[in-house]
Amino acid sequence: MATTYKVGYFVGSLAKESINRKLAHALVKLAPPDLSLTEIPFKDLPLYSYDYDADFPQVAKDFKQAIADVDALLFVTPEYNRSIPGGLKNAIDWASRPYGKNSFTGKPSGIIGTSPGAIGTAIAQASLRGVLCFCNSPLMNTVEAYIHYTPGLFTDDGEVTNESTKKFLTNYMNEYHAFVIRVEKAFAP
């Protein structure tokens, strides 16, 4: 009997028309039936400060609970100035605090992103890998996915218009599913 895994995904861009949001919608459609994907929004989080550690605001408590409620995480992020967007880094800081209550510990994570640039989001993903490694989140290191975006590659409702890209993304989601299963078995009591 198959197990359905709940996956929370983060869209690194806060823009409504983000091409990474379109990619996320495509990944939801291409995911195997045993993965149930839900976005974990973070745009309403204030800037993190350890001054909050004694008593998180409700929005941060809700954010951490959303992460606790899923089995795995998927980061769909653009690249800003050769790194991850500030909003995403802020969300990671909230989730990893206060000390001893890191929401990422043991949560399998995958990283993917799209950009009009020739190397996709390769440098942002390398930066994010370093952060998530420190946060003790097991990372899917292969298949790496740096999607070169061209206009119309994804429709607003998540259709992929290029067959080879669709095949690659379907494979990526199948590999991610297999990775989540491996991590879950490794951490099983």
Please name the amino acid found at residue 118.
A
Rg (CA), the chain: 16
Residues 52-95 pLDDT 10s: 999 999 999 999 999 999 999 999 999 999 999 999 999 999 99
Q: Looking at residue 118, what is its pLDDT?
A: 85
Structure tokens at 130: 């370093």
- pLDDT tier, 164 (very low <50, low <70, confident <90, very high otherwise): very high
- Residue 185 in this model has a pLDDT that exceeds 70: yes
Q: Looking at residue 188, what is its pLDDT?
A: 74
Q: Looking at residue 34, what is its pLDDT?
A: 97
Mean pLDDT for the stretch of residues 165-182: 98
Structure tokens at 81: 């100035």
Please return the burial class of 188, using the count of CB atoms within 10 Å of its CB with bins 0-12, 13-18 and 19+.
exposed
Q: Are 115 and 149 in contact (CB under 8 A)?
A: yes
- Our measurement of the distance from residue 113's CA atom to the centroid of its chain's CA atoms, rounded to an integer in Å, reads 9
| CA separation, residue 63 to residues 33, 85, 157, 186 (Å) | 25, 18, 25, 26
Local structure of 177: helix, strand or coil: helix
- Residue 49 in this model has a pLDDT that exceeds 80: yes
Q: Looking at residue 182, what is its pLDDT?
A: 96
Q: Looking at residue 1, what is its pLDDT?
A: 61
